[in-house]
Amino acid sequence: MSASPACLPTSPSGRVTPATVPISLGERSYPIRIGQGLLADPQTYAGLPRAAAALIVTNATVAPLYEAGLRQALAPHYAKVHTVVLPDGEAYKDWPTLNRIFDALLEQGCDRKTVLFALGGGVVGDMTGFAAACYMRGVPFVQVPTTLLAQVDSSVGGKTAINHPLGKNMVGAFYQPRLVVCDLDSIATLPPRELSAGLAEIIKYGPIADMAFLDWIEANVEALRAGDAQALAHAVRRSCEIKAAVVGADEREGGLRAILNFGHTFGHAIESGLGYGAWLHGEGVGCGMVMAATLSQRLGLVDAAFVARLAAIIARAGLPVAAPPLDAADNAGRWLQLMRVDKKAEGGEIRFVLIDGPGRATVRAAPDALVREVIAACSARA
Ligand code: NAD
Ligand code: GLY
């Protein structure tokens, strides 16, 4: 995949010039709009399916920051704009909280044309998308991602889900939004730890698809961590372009799309093994990428310098690179047990996304003994 120019141009107002990345999926195609000042602009939402009502789904942290702006932007388009505010946290990506969205829809008498708006990070986005897929067998929805992670990954591509105590994102559906609105201004209120978590999913696109993008990230990681609008604009746009190309080629993960899960097999084990919310999703992915790259090296697919370089970029992004202990008595055994629940596993055999040379990914199994060595080596990493 070819790289895009170093930065988006700036408009005369000093703002980043808005960009649109299309997702091409036939009749399920939609645009990803990227820019500043988009969230509270009524124009952003022109052209969506007509309906009597909209339901904003958000959480207790995001609502005070952005719900009023979105509500006033939607007012010209819908006679009624309702809001449901969910509790905040990965631990609430579950059935009882999902049910609160259905409660709100039914209590407000929402019909099958009602448009749902997911206002928040990946947790709100994944749950709102799943609710939209299920309510009256499917209503339209729009993603308004307010975290960096959601803007570069979770809001795009139509994977929706809730967690199960035995496994991450185990219950869900493929269901595409009608529009994704990435307002870069919302990143300004994001805590630094959450911003770093988003960088993990940005870094991921380099080793799997575009080493020139990894070079750019390496040179701009401090600007990204500082919230520089130009740098964020480029990172969000290039990430969405890569994701759009992969999803456009393999919407339902028949094969290629699995490469977007680089670092996730180890990362999901960390998330569920430590208890949802202890490590952020992006932190699990950051450490998981180091572990998956180390496994790639031990299989002879990349060299040690590649792994060291990737680990250094991940650490500079403010992410953990050392594997946490998941069980005092049988640590590697617990890791393997958790990873067997991964959606890529087939017949109990874990399948890893590995780097098959810089900028190229492959999905394959590895011997348990080698995986145990990798867990031990990455646990020891300072
Ligand atoms: P999140 O949704 O928990 O948001 C992180 C935190 O930031 C939350 O406390 C949230 O309330 C807060 N927040 C959101 N926007 C804010 C803002 N602008 N200012 C201040 N605080 C803000 O986490 P996330 O990292 O956005 O998403 C992680 C989730 O996404 C995981 O559940 C993961 O499984 C999922 N995910 C899904 C996909 C997919 O393809 N569907 C891809 C990657 C991740
Ligand atoms: N985040 C992985 C995917 O969308 O496939």
Q: Mind listing the pLDDT tens digit for each residue in 171-201? A: 999 999 999 999 999 999 999 999 999 999 9
> Concatenated DSSP letters for 154-206?
ITSS-EEEEEETTEEEEEEEE---SEEEEEGGGGGGS-HHHHHHHHHHHHHHH
| Domain spans, the chain | 19-192, 201-379
List the residue whose alpha carbon is closest to atom 5 of ligand 1.
121
pLDDT value, residue 341: 87
Structure confidence by residue, pLDDT tens digits, 268-310:
999 999 998 999 999 999 999 999 999 999 999 999 999 999 9
The answer to whether the 19-192 and 201-379 domains have the same CATH topology is no
pLDDT value, residue 5: 47
pLDDT value, residue 2: 44
Structure confidence by residue, pLDDT tens digits, 51-67:
999 999 999 999 999 99
Q: Which residues are known catalytic residues?
A: 137, 159, 201, 243, 253, 257, 261, 264, 268, 281
Helices and strands (H, E) in the chain, number of each type: 12, 11
Confidence category of residue 9, pLDDT binned at 50, 70, 90: low
Q: Decide if 374 contacts 301 (C-beta within 8 A).
A: no
pLDDT value, residue 3: 46
- For the chain, the average pLDDT equals 95
How would CATH label the architecture of 201-379? Up-down Bundle (1.20)
* 153 CB near ligand 2 (under 6 Å): yes
pLDDT value, residue 342: 84
Helix boundaries (H) for 228-303: 229-249, 264-274, 281-298
* 356 CB near ligand 1 (under 6 Å): no
pLDDT value, residue 252: 97
Closest atom of ligand 1 to CA, residue 197: 25
> Higher confidence at residue 3 or residue 178?
178
pLDDT value, residue 219: 98
Across residues 102-107, what is the average pLDDT? 98
Q: In this model, does residue 4 exceed pLDDT 80?
A: no
pLDDT value, residue 356: 95
How would CATH label the architecture of 19-192? 3-Layer(aba) Sandwich (3.40)
> Higher confidence at residue 246 or residue 357?
246
